[in-house]
Amino acid sequence: MIRRQCFRFAYHAVGHKDREILPFQMRDGEAALFLTAALAKRGYYLEDTFLNFPSAGPDLVSVDIDRLSDTDLLLLTTRPPMDDSLVGDRKEIRRSYTTLEDKLFKGPLAEHFEVCARSELRLTPSTAAISPEIAKRRTILFRQHRGAMYQSYGAPDTGDWTHFKDRQPLTAAFLVYSEHAWPGGPAFLVAFGMGGTETLVWCRLLATRFADLLCTTSFAMAELRAISNPEHPESTRFADSWEVELLGAAPLHGVRGPGRAA
């Protein structure tokens, strides 16, 4: 098996804004561990991590991407904060405003997400068309307290909406994969839920129950039902009890849409 390089694309964990930010303070590390182990079986081995320190923007911070080849893979196991600064959610992930982040946001991620923030996600029309169940959830509003569960979801083109007056243990998770994040660039794999626990559960299940989706599927959306969510679990095995319904998946080259304007 050919040995290829995997680079984690990591965001800084929430902390005090008046304190120094350190390189080890990156979020969703356990989620990344599960997928790096699964990717090693496909010949990708962790080489390094791109550390996305918060930046005020909008001017871009230059990042050396010449080290990345078309046989490498970038791995992101955090919800991409494409629109956090615009939506202004309380649980914001701060952007890094690097040239690499900008390239990923305006390229492979924009093919699938019109809006991606903690409280709201909206899919592009081509991605919503993958399946009827995804189309019903083209726009989703999420709760921001006690987990990232549905508040409501709907299809803007039909006006059909489902509202959850009471908190239900239901949420969505996403998988995006591009063979080349840009022409001649590395592959790009993204797996996330809307919150940290949801991301951890989804990445563990992708590495175990749904490993066949990795590097074979351009987009997948799943609905997660939290059966067990203890406050202080002794291990990550609590995730194995969560129910998962795959709402739809597109094979490679099955979905393409317009990117965001540069």
**Domain annotation covers residue 15:** yes
**Domain annotation covers residue 162:** no
**Domain annotation covers residue 54:** yes
Rg (CA), the chain: 17
Mean pLDDT of the chain: 92
Helix, strand or coil, per DSSP, at residue 206? helix
pLDDT for the residue 165: 86
pLDDT for the residue 261: 39
Number of domains in the chain: 1
Interval 76-85 mean pLDDT: 96
The pLDDT of residue 156 is above 70: yes
CA torsion, ordered 86, 89, 90, 94, to nearest 10 deg: -50
- The CA-based angle 91-93-96, given to 5 degrees, is 160
Burial profile 59-74: b = 16 or more Cβ within 10 angstroms, e = fewer: eeeebebeebeeebbb
pLDDT for the residue 16: 61
Tally Cβ neighbours within 10 Å of residue 88.
11
Confidence of residue 253 (pLDDT cuts 50, 70, 90): confident
Could you tell me which of 134, 148, 146, 249 has the C-alpha nearest to residue 198? Answer: 148
The pLDDT of residue 259 is above 50: no
DSSP-H helix ranges across the chain: 29-40, 84-87, 99-104, 125-128, 132-136, 196-208
Could you tell me which of 257, 3, 261 has the C-alpha nearest to residue 123? Answer: 257
The pLDDT of residue 95 is above 60: yes
Question: What range does the domain containing 225 cover?
Answer: 4-81+92-116+170-251
Q: How far apart are CA 25 and CA 132, in angstroms?
A: 40
**Domain annotation covers residue 157:** no
**Domain annotation covers residue 141:** no
**Domain annotation covers residue 217:** yes
Tell me the per-residue pLDDT of 3-51, one tens digit each, with 9 for 90 and over.
Answer: 799 999 999 987 666 677 888 889 999 999 999 999 999 999 999 999 9
Tally Cβ neighbours within 10 Å of residue 135.
19
What pTM was computed for the model?
0.92
Q: How far apart are CA 202 and CA 234, in angstroms?
A: 18
